[in-house]
Amino acid sequence: MTFTKVYYKRRGVTFRVHEASKRLKENYLRQRALIRSQHIRQLEDEKKAVASRISRMTPEVQREFLQMRLRAIEQQLKEENTGY
C-alpha cells in the first residue's frame, strides 16, 4: 500500500488527509463534492422559504428580521461558492 497526501482548502484553511490508496482518495473527494452540493441546496431552499415569507408579511419588525436572515443566507451561499 502506498500512502498519498490529499490537500483541500476550505474557507482559507488547508487540510491534509492521508489516504491508503488512489481509490480511497477518489472516494473522499467525491464525497466532499456531494456534501458541498447538498449544503448549497439546503441554503438555497431556506433562502426561497424566507423570501416567500417576506413577501406575505406586513409588520415591519418581522420584515426586517427576515430580510436580515435572507442576507445572512446569501452571504453563506457566496462563501460556499467561492470557498472551494
- List pLDDT tens digits, range 63-81: 888 889 899 999 988 888 8
Q: What is the pLDDT of residue 2?
A: 45
Q: How far, in Å, CA of 70 to CA of 15, rounded?
A: 30
Yes or no: say if 80 and 11 are a contact pair by the CB < 8 Å rule. no
Do the bridges between strand 13-19 and strand 4-10 make them parallel or antiparallel, or are there none, so unpaired?
antiparallel
Grid cell 500512502 is found at: 3
Instruction: Check residue 5 and give its pLDDT.
Output: 57
> Which pLDDT tens digit goes with each residue over 7-25?
656 666 665 655 456 677 7
Joined grid coordinates for residue 19: 489516504
Output the pTM of the full model. Answer: 0.50
